[in-house]
């Protein structure tokens, strides 16, 4: 099939064929490549000793790496495919994305849901031979839908709706509309549904990330700040309650402050993580030379992979990688600022905020700067589908970047 000549395309189509943002792409590819290498290094021992009861590596030390590599290739392809899509199409897709996410989240509780390890936790499903966490999809679904809907906030808001002031309901509604509450109702409902499903799984870290991503989109779209102050206060209050009133959370905080109080138990992972990081020193023990990965550090190729990075590459290497993340995040927001329309901006803000939050929380946990939450490190942590979805999200950002007007050449 021959390519259509450029003149035959509509303006929309022409815009969608613009160049993608190369710095952003380069950073994504670089981080993916480094992440792959680190998975190889970190998972080597675990794969060799066939440590994970749920996964039979057959003693092949490259087991995890091979699979991660495969998914990285799939993810990169997906990223390019997604970047080719005119992101304006995401507007109508978003409804289905959100609907699909909710369905998938619900499917977790059907026999399709696979329980890994402990039978109480249901986070995974198997669909068409692919095993993945619906929460990963739900993050994208929520961001897409929120951005799409919030981008129309101004244009669709014609003259304010007239409420019947003679009825009490009418007056209340007018008042609520005035303070901007009514506008929030659909978002809150969606969020509550999604969070409730995640809570059932249970999936604490997924809840945190979806809440933060949704909040960032709402925040950027111009929702009144007082809602965030109120919402923030509510969350802090809830957290304070949980920390002081539930044994589970109190314990988490105790362990965080003094991991050695339960050396063999809950404190083990934070301690081992800090031993890995601390023993790395300034320059590290060298790529591939981590000793903590030899069955000391749990989750060494998943949530704790950054500890192995610190051990092998030292503070210098860790800072370089953090700098790459920081650049990617800054470039992402830069793209958001230059996006062609509000939808593009909000979409990128959601995706990049998600990425940034995930990065911060993961590294924060690994270094014991914050209490333990099981959040993976984008591009690094082992998890094929998560990586593929992550790269597809980057594809969305790139798709938006195509429609940025090129700066006028001097």
Partner 1 sequence: MQELDRKPRRSDGKNNRSLFRRTIFLMAVLGVGVFLPLIAQLYKLQIVEHEDWEKRAANQQTKNVSVAANRGTIYDREGRAMAMSATVYKLILSPMGVLGSVNKDDFKTADGKEDTAAYEKELYDRRKIIVDGIVDLFGYDEERLWSRIERINSGYEVLYYELEEEDAEKARAFISENKLSAGLQLTPSSKRYYPYSSVGSHVLGFMSQNKTSGDNKVGAQGIEMLYEDVLSGELGRVVTSKNGWGMEMISGYEMYFDAQNGYDVTLTLDERIQAMLEQTLAEGIETYDVVNGAFGLAIDPQTGAVLGMASTPDFDPNSYGKILNESLQKELDAIAEGKGKDSDEYIKALGDAQQKQWRNRTLSDTYEPGSVFKPITVSMGLEEGLISLDDHYFCGGSKRVGDRDISCHKHSGHGDQTLTQAVMNSCNVALMDIGEKLGPEIMWKYFEDYGLLSTTGIDLVGEVNSYFWTESSFKGPYGAQSVAVGSFGQTFKVTPIQMITAFAAVINGGHLLEPYLVQSISDGDGNTVFYHETQEVRQVISESTSEKLRGILEQVVGTPKGSGHNAYMSGYRIGGKTGTSEKRDELDNDDVICSFMGFAPVDNPQVLVLVAYDTPKRSAPGSNYIASGTYISGGNIAAPMAGQLIAKILDYIGVEKQYTSDELAGADAYMPYVIGKELTVAKGQLQNAGFECRTVGTGNTVTHQVPAAGVSIPGGSNVILYLGNDAPVAQVETPELWGLTPTAAKVKLEELGLFMRAAGVVDFADPAVVAASQSVSAGTVVSPGTVVEVRFVSSIEYGDQ
Q: Which residues bind partner 1 (CB under 8 A)?
A: 45, 49, 153-154, 157, 159-160, 178, 180, 216, 219-222, 274-282, 291-292, 294-296, 310, 314-315, 318-319, 322, 325-326, 329-330, 333-334, 336-337, 342, 345, 349, 352-353, 356-357, 359-360, 363-364, 367-369
Tell me the pairing of strands 113-114 and 130-132.
unpaired
To the nearest whole angstrom, how small is the minimum distance from the Cβ of residue 321 to partner 1?
11
Give the bridge partners for 124, in sequence order: 114
Task: Count the residues in the chain.
Answer: 410
Considering the complex, state which of residue 116 and residue 295 has its C-beta at the smaller distance from partner 1: 295
Shortest Cβ 154–partner 1 spacing (Å): 5
Query: Considering beta carbons, is residue 69 or 219 the nearer one to partner 1?
Result: 219
Least distance in angstroms from the C-beta of 82 to partner 1: 22
Of the pair 134, 356, the CB lying nearest partner 1 is at 356
Residue whose CB is less far from partner 1, 72 or 142: 142
**Nearest approach, Cβ of residue 101 and partner 1 (Å):** 23
Please report how close the Cβ of residue 203 comes to partner 1 at its closest, in angstroms: 22
Name the helix (H) or strand (E) containing 392.
helix 384-402
Nearer of residues 41 and 292 to partner 1, judged by Cβ? 292
Query: Which of 131, 161 has the CB closer to partner 1?
Result: 161
| Distance of alpha carbon 76 from alpha carbon 397, whole angstroms | 13
Report in angstroms how near the CB of residue 73 gets to partner 1 at its nearest.
29
**Please, what is the minimum distance in Å from the beta carbon of residue 38 to partner 1?**
16
CA 238 to chain centroid: 23
Measure the CA–CA gap between 243 and 251, rounded to whole angstroms: 8
Write out the two tokens for 60. Answer: 């092949």
Instruction: Indicate the residue among 80 and 219 with the shorter CB distance to partner 1.
Output: 219
Give the nearer residue to partner 1 in terms of CB position, either 318 or 396.
Answer: 318
CB of 114 to partner 1, least distance (A): 23
Neighbours of 115 (CB within 10 A): 13
Residues in contact with 180: Cβ distance below 8 Å, sequence separation at least 6, in sequence order? 223, 224, 227
The least distance separating partner 1 from the CB of residue 105, rounded to whole angstroms, comes to 26
* Nearer CB in complex with partner 1: 270/383: 270
Q: Which long-range contacts (CB under 8 A, 24 or more apart) does 252-260 make?
A: 252/371, 252/372, 253/371, 255/371, 255/372, 256/368, 256/370, 256/371, 256/372, 259/368
Tell the smallest beta-carbon distance from residue 399 to partner 1 (Å).
18
The two three-digit tokens of residue 162, written as one number: 């007239």
Q: Which residue has the tokens 């991503």?
A: 213
Here the tokens at position 50 are 């066939």
DSSP state of 113: E
Contacts of 251 (CB under 8 A, 6+ apart): 266
Nearer to partner 1, 353 or 399 (CB): 353
Distance CA 33, CA 95 (A): 33
């Amino acid at each position: 099939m021959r390519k259509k000549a450029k003149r035959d395309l509509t303006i929309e189509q022409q815009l969608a064929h613009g160049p993608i943002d190369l710095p952003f792409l380069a950073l994504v590819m670089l981080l993916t490549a480094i992440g792959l290498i680190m998975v190889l290094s970190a998972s080597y021992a675990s794969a060799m000793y066939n440590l994970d009861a749920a996964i039979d590596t057959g003693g092949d030390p490259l087991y995890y790496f091979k699979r991660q590599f495969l998914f990285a290739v799939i993810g990169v392809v997906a990223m390019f495919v997604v970047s080719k899509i005119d992101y304006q199409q995401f507007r109508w897709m978003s409804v289905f994305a959100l609907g699909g996410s909710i369905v998938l989240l619900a499917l977790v509780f059907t026999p399709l849901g696979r329980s890994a390890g402990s039978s109480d936790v249901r986070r995974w499903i198997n669909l068409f031979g692919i095993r993945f966490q619906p929460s990963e999809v739900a993050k994208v679904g929520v961001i897409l839908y929120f951005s799409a809907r919030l981008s129309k906030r101004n244009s669709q808001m014609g003259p304010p709706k007239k409420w019947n002031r003679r009825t009490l309901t009418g007056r209340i509604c007018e008042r609520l509309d005035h303070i901007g509450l009514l506008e929030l109702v659909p978002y809150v409902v969606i969020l509550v549904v999604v969070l409730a499903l995640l809570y059932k799984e249970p999936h604490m870290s997924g809840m945190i990330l979806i809440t933060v991503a949704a909040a960032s989109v709402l925040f950027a779209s111009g929702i009144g700040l007082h809602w965030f102050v109120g919402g923030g206060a509510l969350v802090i209050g809830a957290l304070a309650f949980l920390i002081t009133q539930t044994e589970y959370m109190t314990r988490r905080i105790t362990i965080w402050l003094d991991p050695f109080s339960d050396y063999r138990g809950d404190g083990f992972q934070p301690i081992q993580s800090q031993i890995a990081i601390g023993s790395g020193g300034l320059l590290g023990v060298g790529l591939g030379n981590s000793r903590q990965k030899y069955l000391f550090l749990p989750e060494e190729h998943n949530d704790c992979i950054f500890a192995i990075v610190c051990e092998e590459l030292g503070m210098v290497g860790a800072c370089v990688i953090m700098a790459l993340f920081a650049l990617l995040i800054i470039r992402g927001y830069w793209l958001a600022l230059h996006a062609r329309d509000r939808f593009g901006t909000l979409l990128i803000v959601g995706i990049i905020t998600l990425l940034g939050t995930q990065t911060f929380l993961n590294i924060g946990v690994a270094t014991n700067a914050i209490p333990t939450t099981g959040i993976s490190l984008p591009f690094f942590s082992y998890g094929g589908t998560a990586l593929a979805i992550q790269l597809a999200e980057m594809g969305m950002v790139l798709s938006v970047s195509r429609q940025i007007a090129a700066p006028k050449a001097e």
